[in-house]
Homo-oligomer: A and B are copies of this chain.
């Protein structure tokens, strides 16, 4: 039995009066019962952003009839919009390198029903033995090693896999490879990375060693949408933890694992609940 559909309408358009009235009227006419609604007026760009969660009370209404009803309103207000049934977990491809703490964490949250993803594949640039202690269940695992020379082919392989599995979300769960511009563009808006620093501090390699050398008193992690600008994609979530002068780089790496796990898990949750809307180089996150 399918779960009851739970729709999220996200939209962005130039700000002018009447948007909320028009949209809520339209959904009401379709038998929609709004259970959550959040909006944001960007004073800088004069753009308006909204997220509306609703169920359908009428058996007649369907996603198709909703699309038909929303389209003229959307056109009238020049909206970019997207309608998602979040009761259906999105097909998700997970990429990982040697360190598997984020992968293990996401899979655990998925298994106990906390994170509503549908894992359609795990891709690693390390062999299966590296992950011997993880129960992948029926999720297909692919070892796709990568060198400087084979990178184009390897990326093509991953994109192909994303296409054939119909992946709607790609999570770089400590996948320690810089994506090419092509690949970043191909996954635009549906690829989340976790960077192990409080960006914009300590971009690039070995951020915990950088933090150690700098003598900061807090370290952090950042989950962001992947763009072709390395470590500069729109930030979804960040968090930090206190460190002291006595913490070695290894202590920072250890404390960092805890931050990375929770920051990535939160970012994925926000994405699949469609709480995020891109706004230029920033991310609007309608928190619960």
Contacts and interface: CB of A to CB of B under 8 A. Distances in A.
A285 B32 contact: no
Interface in A156-203: 198-202
Given A21-B24, A244-B285, A37 B40 contact: no
Given A21-B28, A245-B284, 14 more contacts: A20-B20, A21-B27, A24-B24, A25-B25, A114-B257, A133-B137, A198-B201, A199-B201, A201-B201, A214-B281, A217-B237, A245-B282, A245-B283, A251-B288
A92 interface: no
A258 B114 CA distance: 12
Interface centre among A112, A246, A279 (most CB of B within 10 A): A246
A129 interface: no
Contacts of A245: 40, 279, 282-285
Contacts of A34: 17, 20, 39
Copies of this chain in its oligomeric complex: 4
Given A17-B28, A57-B17, A246-B288, A215 B282 contact: yes
A235 to B, nearest CB: 5
A218 interface: yes
A39 B24 CA distance: 13
Contact of A215 (B32, B235, B262): B235
Contacts of A114: 254, 257
Nearest to A28: B21
A288 B20 contact: no
A6 interface: no
A237 B245 CA distance: 11
Would you list the 8 A-B pairs with minimal beta carbon distance, nearest first?
Answer: A215-B282, A21-B28, A21-B24, A20-B24, A217-B238, A245-B284, A201-B201, A17-B33
Q: Which size bracket describes the interface of A in this complex?
A: 35 or more
Contact of A133 (B21, B39, B111, B235): B111
Given A25-B25, A114-B254, A247-B288, A218 B215 contact: no
Given A21-B27, A40-B246, A137-B133, A214 B240 contact: no
A133 B217 CA distance: 35
A210 to B, nearest CB: 9
Contacts of A282: 214-215, 245
Contact of A244 (B24, B36, B215, B288): B288
Contact of A35 (B31, B41, B258, B281): B41
A141 B159 CA distance: 42
Contacts of A201: 198-201
A131 B41 CA distance: 36
A247 B104 CA distance: 26
A87 to B, nearest CB: 16
